[in-house]
Amino acid sequence: MSQNSFRRVLAVPEFRALFLAEILSILALVAVQITLSVLIFDRTGSPLLSSLAFALGFLPHLLGASLLSSVADRFPARRVMVGAQLISGVVMACMAFPGTSVPVMLALLVVSGTIAPVYSGARSAALADVLGGEGFPLGRSLLRIAAQTAQISGFSFGGALMLVASPTIALLVAAGLMAGSALLVAVGTELRPGRGGSGGLVASSLGGVRDASRLPRLRAVFLLSWVPAALFVWPEALAAPLATGMGGGPMLVALLLTAGPVGTVVGELAVGSLLTAEARRRWMLPLAFVSFLPMMFFVLDPGPAFAVVVLGLGALGWGHTLALDALLLAETPEELRGRVFALGSAGLMITQGVGFALAGAVAEFLPTHLVVAMAGGGGVLSVAFFGRRFLRLKEVRTAI
């Protein structure tokens, strides 16, 4: 049993504030995505423009992490988090103005996506201060669980909101939720000084990215986090064609979409509750392999029940991310924490987006079940390759 359990992490008042703020933030973001997607499609009749309401919430993350991430280190984390959430709330309120054109709405989404990694970097840096080294991966895990659960329920929330309210009201409700998130951070966390920095914000941000990329072990942690994650989302990206190929309908699509998130939540809770920090490190790579090995059974073109079970069982291995979080903190110089965490978050968003696109592209030429099996094989190879590199670097460091 882990001495630093989820219960102890949740007992920390500052973490509870960050936890609840994350839930409100995700609900607001999902409500905006759904509202704008429907609103833009109604106005233009364009599926492409409607889909941009989802894509533009993620694509600017790399821009924000590259150009603005030094904000997360230079200023107190509480002020950065509150400021970022308030800006997002104002952006959402601006979208609610009657007559706002589609290009302006999409531009506002770019603004929101650009500041998101700044908030994420400051929040992760604050989390390390609040929980310490042993509690950090557990706190990150709980925030992921909260985000995933809030995102799933957020689609229902956003849909229900659209049924009972106009798009203007729905966007204002989202803005209010984001303001509530900022208020929770403002009153629930301590004001700690920033980590300092000099020079222009953009130059300092780019310098942080450069410095992080020059650290071999940190680079290895990033690659082990990003590349497998880009393959792990392929079944989710192909849920609709998978269900069609199995002769199922919307219910099967929903089951295929939820199998992974449910397995991920259970896996992270089990690893965080049952394993010590040292055991999590030992089991990191075996669990990462578990994430992908079951997907290879899709080569057999399984039926609906078997497919759902396989995806759920594989997702249990995603508990290995707790060890990755601990390694990320250990390998990050304290003065770069905000920038590194912002870069890590942005990189994960971008690689998963690329994974969605690649899954669809490959499925244009191959049967969907074989594409999922390919993702499983690719995931195993990526874990083996990048895990081996990481272990080699570890041996070198130990020898030194």
Sorted by where each begins, the domain ranges of the chain are: 1-211, 215-400
Q: Name the strand (E) or helix (H) holding 152.
A: helix 102-164
H helices present in 332-367, as ranges: 337-363
The pLDDT, as a whole number, for residue 388 is 79
CATH (residue range 1-211): 1.20.1250.20
The pLDDT, as a whole number, for residue 299 is 93
How open is the CA angle 188-189-194, to the nearest 5 degrees?
155
The pLDDT, as a whole number, for residue 138 is 92
The pLDDT, as a whole number, for residue 176 is 94
Distance CA 212, CA 219 (A): 7
pLDDT tens digits for range 53-99? 666 656 677 778 888 888 888 889 999 999 999 999 999 999 888 88
Half-sphere exposure of 278 (CA within 13 A, CB side): 2
Residues comprising the chain, all counted:
400
CB 185 within 8 A of CB 18: yes
pLDDT < 70 positions in the chain: 1-4, 46-59, 151-152, 154-159, 162, 196-199, 390-400
DSSP one-letter code for 215: -
CATH (residue range 215-400): 1.20.1250.20
Those residues whose C-beta lies under 8 Å from the C-beta of residue 339, and which sit 6 or more positions away, are 65, 69, 70, 72, 73, 121, 205, 208, 209, 212
The pLDDT, as a whole number, for residue 19 is 93
pLDDT tens digits for range 311-364? 999 999 999 999 999 999 988 888 888 888 888 888 888 888 888 888 888 888
Q: Do domains 1-211 and 215-400 have the same CATH topology?
A: yes
Whole-model pTM: value is: 0.82
Distance CA 207, CA 343 (A): 12
Residue 266: how many other CB atoms lie within 10 Å: 17
CB 331 within 8 A of CB 217: yes
The pLDDT, as a whole number, for residue 20 is 93
The pLDDT, as a whole number, for residue 211 is 85
Distance CA 74, CA 201 (A): 9
Tell whether the torsion through CA atoms of 282, 283, 288 and 294 is positive or negative: positive
The pLDDT, as a whole number, for residue 194 is 79
